[in-house]
Structure 1
């Protein structure tokens, strides 16, 4: 009896100590530049804050996103930080954030992320055996061109566009404008653009310096000043890694870093020389927006305007949310009353 009492006392004495220990989770982090890159630094700052919540992330940098994905799939890590283009396979809802033309400005993006990071939206963060535990902005993606005269849809016909492999929405858009798909990877599209193996490439503003895309822009090219999409970095975890409360806290902690990340992105965009921006006339923007909208609908429904099958890529519930945000900011837009609105 006395032995049992002693054992119980020891266990009770150790309980506070056990509770104080951090839960440790190995995370694979993709950053093209590695541990010295901005994306890794963003996740690192998030991880520091998560220590205050009793969760310790052991970060492992990967400069190849495909290798990071393979490591996650193989169980080498229980969390993965990668672009939404790759995370889409784990969650179609959050993977639709980068839908072409769906989030025109950073104001729209902040409204969307604020909405989906609320506890009431937590059910959308889970899909199958995975859960999204955080989302960070990676910047608006623009069309970098080797010839600044390519400023209309018609000008893109026949042109070679670096298109990321395994992203059917990008391929669909390139085909839609009658351009030529040049299959590329995150690791090589910049080189193709810089040596003019392609006529255009799709990238966030920070790539101008980080990937030296100014070389491809040269004296004749430019950056078309209309966001084709908003890229995000997302953290996905296996569903049994975090409790529901921990996952919600994680998403809120990630959202706390939105402003700092956005400030950095805007700095990169402001560093692009004014003469390299290709400004789109306001009169053309409505046509671009309608073209993007029709593309999104086709990639939601899996059928194009001719009745032919196309990949079903976009999540309809996310597209509806994005449309509501756009119409809240611009209620006079024609899409807000269109009979086929998203």
Structure 2
């Protein structure tokens, strides 16, 4: 009895100590649908795995990404899960993953994420007082159009495109093709497309049902079957929130969820009727790829082909990595030997 009593006393004495070892971090999580959305569920699954690593994330859902950003900036949370377009302000390297036309397929994306989640790439995950602690696929962004004949660059000239206010590379791209920018937010671009106050909008496949974009497509529109870019959800933390080892573990745990997240992405894309997809002729794809490449170079260097200043948006080393991955998968592409290759 004495031994049992002694053992119980020791365990009770250690309980508060063990509890104190679990680190707690408040995380603001953006999901347009809220706590019932797929993005929130993805972060919930990640958080459960991190709990086993001794880190407890207290999740707070936000349906407005701007508000989530403000809460993070105000210190209401020490971690933020949001789209890479927003996270770019904290890390230009990982924010370049959504560069226009830079990741043509999910195979390319998996190869890239596998590379940058290795410990050898950890230096790129830190920028200033912040660190990227996880990256998840949200799906390729496609062009949704009200007129399915709008399938070439020339067709876009003069058309109105819903363009996110905080997406400077998309604004540059729209101007590049001589289309008209319709400033929009993630909460209202779907409505503008559905009431046809714009001719086109870009979004991942899940938006077809979630935002009812099929209403804007109607009988005449479609979805252009060519990825404009790859959207990701990224977790950024204040640099002092996690140790270097914990941050690396977090990135690896997040990457473990890649296949699950991608499965969900593909299911949403399969829900789009086959006759809604608009195939681009093979002869035009090379022109699209070169146009995207020139845009990326301009947004890397901060100057366009006419010598005018444009925003410096993209991280050069990430663009080089993405080019190497593309050329590993398709070594015969003209960009692989171009004198101005990324």
Aligned to 1:153: 153
Residue deviations 1:112-156 (CA, integer Å, cap 9, x gap): 000000000000000000000000000000000000000000000
Instruction: Write the distance in 2 (CA, Å) between the matches of 1:264 and 1:74.
Output: 33
Shift of 1:57: 0.3
Q: Does 1:98 align with 2:119?
A: no
Aligned to 1:261: 261
Instruction: Write the distance in 2 (CA, Å) between the matches of 1:12 and 1:195.
Output: 64
Q: Does 1:140 align with 2:140?
A: yes
Instruction: Write the distance in 2 (CA, Å) between the matches of 1:34 and 1:16.
Output: 35
Instruction: Write the distance in 2 (CA, Å) between the matches of 1:182 and 1:11.
Output: 66
CA separation of 1:238 and 1:11: change in aligned 2, threshold 3 A = farther
Shift of 1:18: 2.0
Aligned to 2:318: 318
After the TM superposition, which residues 114-125 of structure 1 pair with which residues of structure 2 at under 5 Å, given as runs?
114-125=114-125
Residue deviations 1:196-254 (CA, integer Å, cap 9, x gap): 01000010011000110000010000000000000000000000000000000000000
Aligned to 2:17: 18
Residue deviations 1:39-94 (CA, integer Å, cap 9, x gap): 00000000000010000000000000000000000000000000000000000000
Q: Does 1:112 align with 2:109?
A: no
Q: Does 1:66 align with 2:66?
A: yes
Instruction: Write the distance in 1 (CA, Å) between the matches of 2:111 and 2:145.
Output: 30
Instruction: Write the distance in 1 (CA, Å) between the matches of 2:292 and 2:10.
Output: 62
Residue deviations 1:236-275 (CA, integer Å, cap 9, x gap): 0000000000000000000000000001110100110011
Shift of 1:22: 1.6
Instruction: Write the distance in 2 (CA, Å) between the matches of 1:318 and 1:258.
Output: 20
Q: Does 1:341 align with 2:341?
A: yes
Instruction: Write the distance in 1 (CA, Å) between the matches of 2:10 and 2:317.
Output: 49
**Unaligned stretches of 5+ residues in structure 1:** 1-9
Aligned to 1:278: 278
Q: Does 1:170 align with 2:173?
A: no
**Unaligned stretches of 5+ residues in structure 2:** 1-8
Q: Does 1:128 align with 2:134?
A: no
Instruction: Write the distance in 1 (CA, Å) between the matches of 2:291 and 2:12.
Output: 66
Which range moved further: 13-22 or 123-132?
13-22
Q: Does 1:230 align with 2:223?
A: no
Aligned to 1:202: 202
After the TM superposition, which residues 277-296 of structure 1 pair with which residues of structure 2 at under 5 Å, given as runs?
277-296=277-296
Instruction: Write the distance in 1 (CA, Å) between the matches of 2:292 and 2:332.
Output: 18
Instruction: Write the distance in 1 (CA, Å) between the matches of 2:175 and 2:89.
Output: 22
Shift of 1:16: 7.2
Aligned to 2:188: 188
**Secondary structure of residue in 2 paired with 1:220:** coil
**May I ask how many residue pairs the two structures share in their alignment?**
333
> Structure 1 length normalisation: TM-score?
0.96
CA separation of 1:15 and 1:339: change in aligned 2, threshold 3 A = farther
**Secondary structure of residue in 2 paired with 1:140:** strand
